[in-house]
Amino acid sequence: MAGLVQLARMIDKARSFKEDQIADYIYPCPLDKIILNFLRIDSDEFATKTMDCGDDEISAWSKETLKNKKASEFDFINDQILERRPGSEDRLKYFYETRDKIDPSRTDINTWVDLLDLEEGRLPPK
């Protein structure tokens, strides 16, 4: 959405956060923070916007906000999100434990986005 990977997912989480229905999800997670920084908006302000606007309005707002950004900047941000890996031993341990609960055979999963896709059933079987 609006050229940003994970933006639509972040919108859903922000709405759930505002409605106190977030469950086990985290808003804003480190991936969300990358997008929020790129959009130059506070997480609470963005969450409020998601309650006041539909997806199409947020997409249009995001496009307008980012209209002066270069394609290379979008590529950089999207790569930051898509390639993010656990950054410490405790996060790596958590990552592997979570992955192994879902499917221990998927040792090819090594980024947070891949783990989310595995958890939410978007990856094809190995």
Please state the rounded mean pLDDT for residues 108-124.
90
Predicted confidence at residue 122, as pLDDT, reads: 84
Predicted confidence at residue 125, as pLDDT, reads: 72
Query: Contact, 109 vs 118, CB < 8 A?
Result: yes
Predicted confidence at residue 121, as pLDDT, reads: 86
**DSSP secondary structure letter of residue 69:** -
**Residue 74 tokens, joined:** 């979008």
User: What is the pTM assigned to this prediction?
Assistant: 0.86
Encode pLDDT of 27-46 as tens digits: 999 999 999 999 999 999 99
For the chain, helix, strand, coil in percent to 5 are 60, 0, 40
SS (H, E, C) 11-65: HHHHHHHHCCCCCCCCCCCHHHHHHHHHHCCCHHHHHHHHHHCCHHHHHHHHHHH
pLDDT higher than 80, residue 66: yes
Domain boundaries in the chain? Answer: 7-82, 89-119
Query: Contact, 78 vs 70, CB < 8 A?
Result: no
pLDDT higher than 90, residue 24: no
pLDDT higher than 90, residue 1: yes
- The rounded distance, in Å, linking the Cα atoms of 97 and 23 is 19
Which residue reads 């006041």 in tokens? 52
Portion of the chain with pLDDT greater than 70, in percent: 100
